[in-house]
Structure 1
Amino acid sequence: MHGTSIDFRWATDGDLPELARLYAARNGVNSIDHVRHQQYIRFLEYKYARNPQAPRGVRILVALEGSTIVGMRPVLPFTWMLNGQRYQGEWGTDFVVSGQHRGKGIGTGLIREWHERSGSIAALASAPASRHIYDKLGLRLFEDVPLAVAIIRPTLAFRQAMGLRVKIATVGAAGWKFVAAALAGQAPEFNIEPVGEFPAEMDPALVELSAAYRAIVVRTCATLNWRFGPEALTRHHRGIATDGKRVRGYVVTRAGYDRRGVSGGIIADILSAAGDEQTYRGLVRYALDHFRGNPAVSAVVCRASHPALLSALRAEGFAIIRRGHSFMFHPDRSQVDPEDVAPTDQWHLTLGDSDGHFTFPWEAGSPSALDQRIAQ
């Protein structure tokens, strides 16, 4: 297809300035000054070199025509737990091919090269058209992760942009305290409090909360703080639910904008024990309360797969829409029988910022919105 004209290799730190220009051009910024260029370099360095699960440094596969970088596929290493066993994997994200080189098979080449070089057992595809590529590589489709949407301010711009008919969330504000007894008998009261960062002593609780899920991306406080903490390049709000004796869960939210300027809120990550719908409802309501305090937010979205979380989202006024992101798994590389993986009813795939790092409607951002997020 390309002969010897296109080569592939892993990027080095010295490639970051050129990669920053390529990434900026993808977001519509074709003329970039020094300050903005440094912001994009910082964005790539933070996201791909400071990931606690990336000890080998920057993990960005690049495509070259001669000595010029014409495409890149950054990847984010993660630990995935399946039926109690831990596996290493890599998500592909921030996929870019320069405008004049699109349609030449470079994107397919990057996916194939990444698959051969990384040894990854998992992948995520946002476009149905790309699924056949993963299928040929031996990855099996296991789940189309649903998108949950709640409209809290049904503006005309939002309805026109999304083209969706979804019901409006009508649950009233509940403040920072959520009383589980209001949902089920005499269940104990628990509080949800905002935190600046996730404390390291919370790691055992994260292990305990994750234990009952058939499949889940492993969380640690170091990884959560890298992705959602005060130093992260986008502003997140973090809330932890406790009942005085133990941690019952947490939720992470942030606001964003799509390319049409429609504002929305994202439940970027959320976790409680499997089957604990009470805590999930409290965390979802906490997130809605937070967004109702921002008059610019029109709607709130969350990707979720576990029945307890989906039930909590429905109870708080979300409509569940099945579309978009697909989770795929490589059974041969993991030496796991596919029949042992299915069904997926005990999977916890929020596929928000922490799991998939994929672009949702309000994460994409116009160039100005992206620049503002990077500068924060």
Structure 2
Amino acid sequence: MRDGDARVWHVSGEFAARYAGGTLPEPDAWSLEKHVEDCAGCASRVSDAVGATTAGTVLAQVRAAVLETVLDPAPDPVPETAPTPVRRTAPERHPVGRTTSERRPAERTAPGRRPGRPTAPRPRTRAARSSPRPPGSRLPRLLWAAGPAVRGAWLPAVLVVAAGALALAYGAGLPGTRALLLAVAPVVPVTGIALSYGPHADPLHEIAAATPGGGLRLALIRTVAVLTVSVPLLTLTGLLLPASGAPAAAAWLLPGLALSLGSLALASFIGCRAAALVTGGGWLAAVLGPVPVASGDAGGARLAEQLSRCLDGIGAQSAWAAAAVLSAVLLTARRPAYDRPLGR
């Protein structure tokens, strides 16, 4: 299945025949289907192999029937209405005494056609009869692509976190609310990603992962949807909370991005939910673990101090940026793992 260059992968005739006969192992079949999306030569080889089988003959018959139906649709039934009376008019006389029909023979009535009777309109094709798709029909598809987390219970949970932080700060007067929000914020997108992609999140995950738009592409689309919702909402909430010595409201963005990419990369090994537990739980343990149990101003101040060591300064932010880049590189290297269903 390889040519002279060891780095280039191509489908051999044997693999194409085994795929057409249904004897190719499932992982190899997934790899073959993914490869022929971008390789015209291998796609033609596989198509010829499938066409030589009994299934290829049936597919050719189905294709011919579909094309015949689309290109030559049955005309719409003509409604039975009363014939419209045709008003006869006198022939137009030419100045030299000849009628128009005598002067222009090319415009005379065709043989077999009754004069004075209107011609029935030609039947429209199905494309012309079909009404344009309403703009609102795109919303369900966008919500499906965004993922179960955005259209499910995760979105209300994010709103509850934001509203709860504001209520604790201004309603209960709890100090250090911004620090508490910054400690939880990086875990929110990780949780959303874990709830958006995987067999546990989507009943059609296996089918979606096998489509050209599935796999890592679908996971990244749903990750972007989760970040689009959580980043502005949590950052705005942090801006509205009193500082109380905590880092800036946007200090969690790079850690949140690094944890999200790290969770996607780790999911290629152990699955989405386990990866979310490792990355999210590791962050919470690193931030909240060194903070002793305290109440009132002491607890908030200690949490803010711990967050400042993890988030504040060029060194800390540079480390998070480097972690995000390394996670993206690992995710790119592990991209083929998303071509098959991930572990639960």
* Range class of TM-score, shorter chain: under 0.3
Which entry has the higher C-alpha Rg, 1 or 2?
2
Structure with greater helix percent: 2
Question: Structure 2 length as normaliser, TM-score?
Answer: 0.23
Structure with greater strand percent: 1
